[in-house]
Amino acid sequence: MAINAMQNRAPVAQKPHKVEIKADADVGAYIDVEINGKGYTVPFGMTILEACRNNNIHIPSLCYHEDLCLAGACRVCVVEVEGMRTLQASCAYPITNKIKIWTTSERVRKARRHILDLLLSEHYGECYSCVRNNNCELQRLAKEYGVDFYRFGHIKEPRYEVDRSSYAIVRDMDKCVLCKRCVRTCIDLQEVGVLEATRRGYSTLISTFMDKPILDVICINCGQCINRCPTGALRAKDPSDEIWKAIDDPTKHVVIQTAPSIRAAIGEEFGLPPGHSMTGQMVTALRMIGFDRVFDTNFAADLTIMEEGTELLLRLKRKYLFGDPEVKLPQFTSCSPGWIKFIEHYYPEHLDYLSTCKSPQQMFGAIIKTFYAQEMQIDPANIVTVAVMPCTAKKFECNRPEMNASGYKDIDYGLTTRELAQMIKEAGIYLPELPKSYFDEPFGNASGAGLIFGATGGVMEAALRTVYEIVTGREVPFENLDITPCRGMDGVRQGSVILTDVKDEWRFLEGFEVKFMIAHGTSNARKVMEALIHGELDDYHFVEIMACPGGCIGGGGQPIPTSPEIRRKRAEAIYNEDKELPIRKSHENPHIKYIYEKFLVDGPCGHISHKLLHTHYVKRGKFIV
C-alpha cells in the first residue's frame, strides 16, 4: 500500500539526511573512524552523534531529539573533524568516509561554553520558579559546563507575554532557546504545523499564524511539543490549585479516575526507570492526597468497547444486511481528543466516519454524575470529577460545550501525569515506597482489554476480543488473546480477522473478513485519511487512530523526556500487566454487566447510552469554531 511512501511536509532543511550507500570498493556498510584517538567501526551514514552515543562517548546536545528530524541549529553538539576548518554539528554530520573526530578538544570546549553562555544570556527567568526545575536540558548543560556567571549578561525583564489562551498549552517565549523542537514536532512528527519561526535574526521568534494566541489557531492540543521542549517554554495548563481547593472543601465529593497509561509512566517522575508499573502505589497515594473515590478509567474503557464494538456491528449490519448506502465504513475510533480535533480541522467533511462514542474519560464522567450519584445519593452538583490523563488534549476535551449530557460537566478537571506526580510530591509522598491498594467500588474492576487502551493498537485489540466473541461465541483465535498484528510501533499497521461459525443472529457475517488498520501520531493519521479519500480504505471496517506517537503512553501529559525506547518500555509494562489480569475481555467485566442491567437498561448504543455516552463533532475546518 502506498501509505508509507507518502512524503511529509517538513522543509528539507529540517529533514534527516538520506545518505545513499555507495558501492565504493574500500567503503562498505561499515567504516572505521577514529574518535578521540581510539578506533571504532560504525555503520556507513550514521551521524557522529549517534556513533559516539552508541559507543558511550558523551556529546552534549540541545536541539537534537531522537524522534525528530535534524536541525543542526543550536550548535551545542559541535565536534572537531580533522581537516575541516570549522567545527561540525555532530547531530547532522553523516559519517561517509574515514574521519578523525575529537569531541572534547580545547576549541570544542570553548565553543560549547560560548554557545551556552549565549543561550543563557537570552533565557529569561529563574530556575526555581519554573515547572521544569530539575528536569531542564539547559539547566543540565549549564551544570555540566560549570556555568557560574553570565559571561555575556542576562535578560532581566520579560519580553513576551505568556500565552495562556489555550485549555491545554501555555507558551512562555521568554524561556525559548529556539531549538525548534516544537516546530519540528508540530510539522514533521505530527504534521499539524501551527508553530513556525517568524521574523529574522536576533528577533526570531517561534510563533503561530499571524502571532495569534494558540487558542485561535488550529492546534490539536496533543502536547507533543511540550514533551520535547528542552526548557519550560512550553508547558501544560495546570489545574492542580483548583483541585486542591476542591479536596479541601468538605462539601465537595472529589472523584478521580486514572487512565491506563498513567501507571506505566508515573514512576519516572520519581526517578524510576521507564517500564515500572505503579498501579497499587498510585491508588494509595491518591487516597492519601484526599480524593474521596479513586476509580480506574479502564472500567470506562471497557464501557467504550461495549459501545464502540456494538456501533461497529450495527454499521456492518446496516451496510451488509440492509444494504444501507449511507453507512460510513471504516469506523474510526474516537478516544483520542487530539485526533478528534485534528480530523475536525483537517478533514471536516469526513466526520461521519468517526464513532460517535465519547472517550472513556468523558463516558466515565457522565456515569459518575448520573448513575454513581444516584447510587451514592450525592447531589451531582457537589461531585467534582478529576481525570488523570497522559494527555493535554483531554483538558480541552472536558471543556467542550457538548460534554455535559447529565446537566453537569462530565469532567471538571483534566490533570496530566506530570501534574499528578507534582501533587503527590507536594503532599510529601514518595510514591515508589507506598503499599499497594485497589481501586474503589463500584467501578473497581476493569479488564485487561481496558488496560491496553494505553498503547497504540490497544483499542483495536480490545474491541476485537469482544466483537469476535459477540459474533462467534468463541475467543479470538490468537494465543493468550494477544492479537499480535495490533501490537508494535510501526506508524501504520493493518491486519484482518475472519469470522467463521458465527451465531445465528450474525449469519450475514459468516466467513466475513474484518479488516482493520491502526495508526498513531497525526502524521500517520493524515496518511490514513488521504488513503481513505483516495478510496484505498473501501474494504476496511475499523480504524484505530491515536494522536500521539506510541498511543497514550507517549501522550503529551506524560513524564519528560520521551523517546522510542521509553515508549516501548511503557507499552511493555501495560501488556505485561494485561497478561496477569483475571479478566481480559471488556464484556466479561462484571461491573460492565451490572451497569447495563441496572442503569443503561436498553443496552449498548441504546437510548440512555446515546444520551450520555455518545457525542457529536464540530466541522471546524481551517476556521476556529
In the complex with other proteins, the residue whose CB is nearer, 93 or 347, is 93
Site for other proteins contains 593 (CB under 8 A): no
H-state helical runs in 229-296: 240-248, 279-289
How much of the chain is helix, strand and coil, in % rounded to 5?
Answer: 40, 15, 45
Q: Residue 589: which of 254, 310, 296, 294 has the closest Cα?
A: 296
Least Å distance between CB 74 and other proteins? 5
Active site residue 98: no
Active site residue 523: no
Cell numbers standing for residue 71: 536541525
Active site residue 110: no
Number of helices and strands (H, E) in the chain?
A: 19, 17
Least Å distance between CB 115 and other proteins? 5
Count of chain residues binding other proteins (CB under 8 A): 45
Least Å distance between CB 178 and other proteins? 7
In the complex with other proteins, the residue whose CB is nearer, 17 or 598, is 17
Rounded distance between C-alpha atoms, residue 171 and residue 237, angstroms: 10
Q: Which residues from 157-186 bind other proteins, rule CB under 8 A? A: 177-178, 180
List 85, 156, 507, 616, residue binding other proteins (CB under 8 A): 85
Candidates 50, 80, 191, 308; catalytic one: 308
Amino acid identity of 469?
E
Least Å distance between CB 195 and other proteins? 13
Q: Residue 329: which of 517, 70, 487 has the closest Cα?
A: 517
Cell numbers standing for residue 212: 495569534
Least Å distance between CB 24 and other proteins? 13
List 73, 247, 420, 592, residue binding other proteins (CB under 8 A): 73
Candidates 269, 307, 311, 344; catalytic one: 311
In the complex with other proteins, the residue whose CB is nearer, 114 or 622, is 114
Least Å distance between CB 258 and other proteins? 41
List 201, 323, 401, 428, residue binding other proteins (CB under 8 A): 201
In the complex with other proteins, the residue whose CB is nearer, 85 or 616, is 85
In the complex with other proteins, the residue whose CB is nearer, 19 or 321, is 19
Assign 3-class secondary structure to 551-609: HHHHCCCCCCCCCHHHHHHHHHHHHHHHHHCCCCCHHHCHHHHHHHHHCCCCCCCCHHH
Site for other proteins contains 68 (CB under 8 A): no
Active site residue 394: yes
With 0-12 / 13-18 / 19 or more C-beta atoms within 10 angstroms meaning exposed / middle / buried, residue 71 is buried
Q: Residue 226: which of 160, 169, 161, 270 has the closest Cα?
A: 169
Candidates 166, 261, 355, 447; catalytic one: 355
Rounded distance between C-alpha atoms, residue 475 and residue 585, angstroms: 9
Active site residue 349: no
List 115, 218, 566, 573, residue binding other proteins (CB under 8 A): 115
Rounded distance between C-alpha atoms, residue 88 and residue 108, angstroms: 10
Cell numbers standing for residue 361: 474519560
Least Å distance between CB 508 and other proteins? 50
Among the candidate windows 150-158, 265-273, 286-294, 586-594, which touches other proteins by CB under 8 A? 150-158
Which residues on neighbouring strands pair with residue 513, listed in sequence order?
A: 498
Active site residue 402: yes
Contact 280, 370 (CB under 8 A): no
Site for other proteins contains 111 (CB under 8 A): yes
H-state helical runs in 271-348: 279-289, 297-316, 337-346
Q: How far is CA 180 from the centre of its chain?
A: 19
Site for other proteins contains 497 (CB under 8 A): no
Residues assigned a catalytic role? 308, 311, 335, 355, 394, 397, 402, 552
Interacting residues with other proteins (CB under 8 A): 11-13, 17-19, 70-76, 78, 85-87, 89, 92-94, 96, 107, 110-111, 114-115, 118-119, 121-122, 151-153, 177-178, 180, 196-197, 199-204
